[in-house]
């Protein structure tokens, strides 16, 4: 079976940046499981996996525009400390959840604190970076009808929403 739309795919991966630093990796025996074609993973990686088979190993370089996007300076903004509620001790690098203009939850990063002013960064932490994935395709299976409706895989009967 080859990786194609509507297949549930399991991959072991190690993600590194241009400096070779490991940014993320799957735990041994706990592969990343996603529904191919449903936008569960970044486009550059999903496109590179299309047509691969279980057991295949590959290195995939994903440019920012096919990953988490370019870094957008306009997403760096300064707000009044009172806008951020429920957090007493703000520190640089802290990540917070905020409501995006479309109502979705968005992760923002505290980029600076200066008295009553807080600089926040709404860019994804990997925005603007070229990413390299070392991949091993572990398993491929047909998605169930329920997984297709929900747009993601269900593991061991887990389908709580």
pLDDT (0 to 100) of residue 101: 78
Residues 39 and 78 in one domain: no
Half-sphere exposure of 52 (CA within 13 A, CB side): 24
Question: Domain residues for 58?
Answer: 7-68+126-150
pLDDT (0 to 100) of residue 88: 83
The enclosing domain of 88 has a CATH number of: 2.40.10.330
Reported pTM? 0.84
Using one digit for the tens of pLDDT, what is the confidence trace for 71-128? 999 999 999 998 888 888 899 999 999 887 788 888 999 999 999 999 999 999 999 9
Distance of CA 122 to the CA centre of its chain: 14
Average the pLDDT over 24-40 and give the result.
96
The pLDDT-based confidence of 159 (bands split at 50, 70, 90) is low
Residues 11 and 52 in one domain: yes
């Amino acid at each position: 079976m080859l990786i194609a739309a509507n297949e549930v795919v399991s991959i072991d991966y190690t993600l590194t940046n241009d400096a070779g630093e490991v940014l993320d990796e799957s735990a041994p025996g706990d592969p990343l499981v996603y529904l191919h074609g449903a936008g569960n993973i970044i486009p550059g990686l999903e496109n590179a996996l299309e047509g691969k088979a279980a057991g295949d190993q590959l290195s995939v370089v994903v440019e920012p525009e096919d990953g988490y996007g370019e870094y957008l300076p306009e997403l760096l903004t300064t707000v009044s400390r009172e806008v951020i509620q429920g957090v007493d001790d703000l520190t640089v690098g802290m990540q917070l959840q905020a409501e995006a203009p479309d109502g979705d939850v968005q992760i923002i990063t505290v980029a600076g604190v200066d008295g009553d002013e807080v600089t926040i960064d709404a860019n994804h932490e990997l925005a603007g970076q070229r990413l390299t994935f070392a991949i091993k395709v572990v398993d491929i299976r047909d998605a169930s009808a329920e997984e297709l409706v929900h747009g993601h895989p269900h593991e061991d009967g887990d389908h709580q929403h």
